[in-house]
Amino acid sequence: MLTRFHKILIAVLAVQIVLALVMLTRGNDTAALRSHPVLAGFVPADVTRLQVFAAADKPAVDLVKRDGHWVIASSFDYPVDAARIDEVTAALGKMAAAAPIATQAARHAQLKVADTEFERKLVITAGGKDVTLYVGGAAGMQRNAVRLAGDDRVYAVSGVSAFSLPAEARSWAPPEYVKVARDDIASVTIEHGATIAKLDKAGDKWNVTLDGAPIALAKGETLDDQTIGRLADSASTLRLSAPADPKRDTSAKVATITIEKKASGTSSAAPIVIDVLADPAGYYVHQRALDHAAIVDKPDLDEVVGVARDKIVKPPPPPTTPPAGAGSGSAVPRPLH
């Protein structure tokens, strides 16, 4: 005998069977909603050029692979940090999405993926073919809108954004133009005008000569070891502000920096010689052994190109002022008897 409870169980089972049949008959629709690559057939290793646009009316940062090495073709062929390229191409290969978040051209400007209004426009050259990808604003949690040129569909993807595709050349290059660790330095010579300052490393101390002679210290004067160490660090670590033309005339240089490195084993490294020119954006620097040059920020080298005796020698400390009432006319206490 069927009770009311049994009838309810049978009804629930029937509903479950109907739902299962519906899901089976909708197999094709479910497959269509599965995540798929946005760049079908994309192979990161095949990429030979990336052009990054920040606006339709501005030139691109043009990154090109030449003879197995990446350079910034739009900035005097300055070397690229290869790890940055690997990060971007790997992220492009992983871009995947299911259903589009928009399918009408009217939404493109709103999502910042329109032909003339975008956060980034990326032209990818791989296998001799170009593919243009528009990268827009936020489209969900850690996702950004992207659209392929010629396709109205917009997808939300992770890993690719305006932040990951910087539109400044310096962001694609190694951060330092020159970098020599302090422990590897044997000496630093700074020539500017008629002054030649040489800083020699002796253990944890620096010895300094000016114009070929040791600095004669007056009574009470001392070398400013902190300033001397800072000078050596500033001269041997030049941070890139922007790539520059390596063919620029350096005859009007304001300084020459020569860095001698400590010998390694039985061999000694060639000295690093850097020409320094004044520039409206800071200082132009060119290491003579390199085929690329850079602009560095002015504060980074101001102290170096202005090195002089009074900058590296501490004056005698001021005389101690006696306490009030301690002069010759002050009363002298009588001894107690």
> Hey, where are the domains in the chain?
36-168, 176-314
Rounded average pLDDT over 170-187: 95
Residue range 34-84, pLDDT digits in tens: 889 999 999 999 999 999 999 999 999 999 999 999 999 999 999 999 999
pLDDT for residue 318: 85
Contact yes or no for 283/118 (Cβ under 8 A): no
Rounded average pLDDT over 230-234: 94
The highest-confidence range among 13-22, 88-97, 305-314, by mean pLDDT, is 88-97
Fold of the domain built from segment(s) 36-168: Immunoglobulin-like (2.60.40)
Residue 183 has pLDDT above 70, yes or no: yes
One fold for both 36-168 and 176-314?
yes
Other beta carbons within 10 Å of 14: 10
pLDDT for residue 30: 44
Phi/psi of residue 60, each to 5°? -85, 155
Other beta carbons within 10 Å of 194: 6
pLDDT for residue 319: 80
Residue 236 has pLDDT above 50, yes or no: yes
pLDDT for residue 1: 59
- Report field, pTM of the whole predicted structure over 0.75: yes
Q: Which of 305, 307, 281, 306 is nearest to 295 (CA)?
A: 281
Residue range 127-162, pLDDT digits in tens: 999 999 999 999 988 999 999 999 999 999 999 999
173 confidence band (pLDDT: 50, 70, 90): very high
Mean pLDDT over each residue of the chain, to the nearest integer: 89
pLDDT for residue 8: 60
Long-range contacts formed by 132-136: CB under 8 A, 24+ apart: 133/39, 133/92, 133/160, 134/108, 135/160, 135/161, 135/162, 135/165, 136/111, 136/112
Residue range 240-294, pLDDT digits in tens: 999 999 999 999 999 999 999 988 766 678 999 999 999 999 999 999 999 999 9
Over pLDDT 90: what percentage of the chain?
A: 72
CATH 2.60.40 fits 176-314, yes or no: yes
The residue whose two tokens read 């993926």 is 113
Rounded average pLDDT over 292-308: 96
